[in-house]
Amino acid sequence: MRLIYLDIDSLRPDHMGCYGYARNTTPNIDAIAAQGVRFNHCYCASSPCVPSRASFMSGRFAINHGALTHWGPGYDFYYPEGETHSETYAFFTRRLREAGYRTVTFSSFGDRHHAWWYFAGWNEVHTHTLKEGNEDADEVNAAVIPWLRSHGTEENYFLHIQYWDPHTLYTYPQEFAEQWREHPAKPYPTEEEIAAHQADRFPHSAAYLHTDRVFPATMPNRIANREDYIDLLNGYDGGISYMDKHVGEIVQTLHELGIQDEVCFIISADHGESLGEHGIYAEHASATESVHHLPLIIKAPGITKPGTVVNGLIYNVDVVATITDLAGLPVPSGWDGASFSPVLRGEHWQGRDYLVMDHALYTCQRAVRDQKWYFIRTYHPGLYNFEPVSLYDMEHDPNQTTNVADMHPDIVKEMDHRLSQWLHEHLGKPGHSTDPLQKVVETGPWKYVTLEGWVQRLREKGDHEAADHYERAYRN
């Protein structure tokens, strides 16, 4: 089997045509989706980049693999000691390689995040530039397409291709943002909601969109009104469009090789992106719907039925378990993922009853999501305005604008019970190490933006009241 995994950083499903987006951002991916299965409720178990891809490599939740933030306390990747690799806790890529698959990645992720574990199990690692994740799709394809022309017709390979373009900073050609100038923008957030966001004083807020002093031409300086928001939206959609153009080049290369109908495509992301939700713009800073909801498209020739849509709840760790299953391999007992391959074959399958997700880079949160409710417990808000307990009705409030926890104490109790049971299940395993979330709670989620640095930034801007607020909040 020839497997191509498109791993697209920061891609929201609701900005793709196949998921109903009004702008034609993803015509090439949409064409692949029309030939396969589209999953409507796939979520990353842990966000953002490092914990999500550590789950991709290990098949485990962050509470079990340990890398729940980007460096420092809470970043340690847990793995059994010894000279050899564990069969119980096998790396996904080693699993495939041991079965005779040629495993190849075109990604600078391991370099960008100093992640030793990312390099385990690949036959080939291509970083293609020294930009550490700031390369554009054309630079990725300049390396990928020659590889395909040399090896694409071979059998049994897993080719992982990572595109970064929807992630800030938007460095693709400017015309890909400009193309949306005359296209209507989605209505959320409204002018009134943006006006309310002007009071926020946290990183990546409407007033403080950029944490650095320099910002690109594809992004506004701040979000003062809908016009600024549309500029930001055009920049994000431009990155998606530029990436999709290069997906089209991959597909065209497969056509030239005569194997376009013989390749299994898996298309997903590491996490999404907040675009106004909770007052956060162009960042992935929480365990919320906008950050954790992922696209997932699988086209497996001879297996998937074209145009299938699946609504069951699944994790990203279930995706690697399913790929392992499709390759004819048993899923390791130490993995948290479960295969959903029956649904790909049109057989009866039911998704998970609920999902538990977490984040520990900018905030420390765990969330529980079922088909109707989204519950968040915040253990450390960082610099953000999250309440200790939040509950959102996803059927009537998909943008999570109104916390209804006080109105539904019975639902809060049930979701909190689910979270407690999940914690007991995982922390109660023999030999389990410390919960990585608690390591970050103890030290604070001060990574890219520190408390001291943010207070200084606010004072430089004359926002002394906000600076005093943060100093009081975290005064020992």
438, pLDDT greater than 80: yes
CATH class, range 356-447: alpha beta
81, pLDDT greater than 90: no
Cβ neighbours for 126, distance < 8 A, ≥ 6 positions apart: 104, 105, 106, 107, 143, 144, 147
Is-contact 61 436, C-beta < 8 A? Answer: no
Cα angle at 12 between 336 and 382, to 5 degrees? Answer: 75
50, pLDDT greater than 80: yes
Model confidence pLDDT, tens digit, residues 305-326: 999 999 999 999 999 999 999 9
Mean pLDDT computed over 239-247: 98
291, pLDDT greater than 90: yes
Is-contact 232 222, C-beta < 8 A? Answer: no
The confidence score (pLDDT) of residue 428 equals 86
- Which amino acid type is present at position 170? Y
For the chain, the domains span 2-353, 356-447, 448-476
What is the CATH architecture of 2-353? 3-Layer(aba) Sandwich (3.40)
Least confident of 20-34, 73-87, 188-202, 323-337: 73-87
Alpha-carbon distances, residue 311 vs 314, 333, 347 (angstroms):
9, 26, 14
Model confidence pLDDT, tens digit, residues 7-23: 999 999 999 999 999 99
The confidence score (pLDDT) of residue 89 equals 92
83, pLDDT greater than 80: no
The confidence score (pLDDT) of residue 128 equals 85
Give the pLDDT band (50/70/90) at residue 153. very high
462, pLDDT greater than 70: yes
Is-contact 149 112, C-beta < 8 A? Answer: no
298, pLDDT greater than 90: yes
Model confidence pLDDT, tens digit, residues 165-186: 999 989 999 999 999 999 999 9
Give the pLDDT band (50/70/90) at residue 213. low
Give the pLDDT band (50/70/90) at residue 215. confident
The confidence score (pLDDT) of residue 386 equals 97
Model confidence pLDDT, tens digit, residues 339-367: 999 999 999 999 999 999 999 999 999 99
Model's pTM, two decimal places?
Answer: 0.97
